[in-house]
Structure 1
Amino acid sequence: MSKPPKVGLRAIDPLQDRYSDRSGNLYSVARLIDDSKNLPVFEVPVAALSLGDVIWEGENILGLAFHVRKCMKADLDCPILLDWNGDIADGRHRLIKAIATGKRTLKARRMTWKPEPDRPAEKP
């Protein structure tokens, strides 16, 4: 008897990651990371981060499994990136892993400036 087929998940493509700020402006996460690579790294308490944001809205089981896999593989030695408001611009999978494994702090960098968006928010 042959094995059942393995369920495949979509490939991880970091160049497609986008960050949407509070105003709806879109930024390339890769660009934000590159622009902030020389910022100092510090320990931020997990409890001090915004934990009430809705993420991955509308994901089906396969979509959620994709994010679970990213959480499992997340490198907690890699700092998360906080934007100019203190919101998480990059690192939600690391944050989830830190919470799930009982970590109290995460390494972080914080942007002190607001860059030009890659795509400005649409005006109503």
Structure 2
Amino acid sequence: MSKKHANWKILDDLYDEIVSRKGGDPEKSHTARLFSRGTDKIAQKLGEEAVETVIEAVKGNRDKLVSESADLFYHLMVLWADQGVAPDDVFDELARRRGISGIDEKKSRKG
């Protein structure tokens, strides 16, 4: 298995673990606690992690950027799971956009 493929498996495994925590004990699982607080709190945490990721990038702190990026992926996947979006849904959308310029893709969404 290539390292690239193994890395995508980590994301799939993380998503599966997140989904398994839905309805779990919020006293024993941070993920279950996020789910119990609802979509607004999950989205807020995702926003906070996005800001923290940007701050570390602007500071040029690579190690903290890596750490904050991992937090960002995790919270994004919690939001996906909350909304019934699977990683494959997002990967399929990325595949659909492959070979289309970003400018053309954005134009196709208007209207």
- TM superposition score normalised by structure 1: 0.24
Higher strand share: 1
Structure possessing the higher relative contact order (Cα contacts under 8 Å, 6 or more residues apart): 1
Question: Quick check: which one's helix share is greater?
Answer: 2
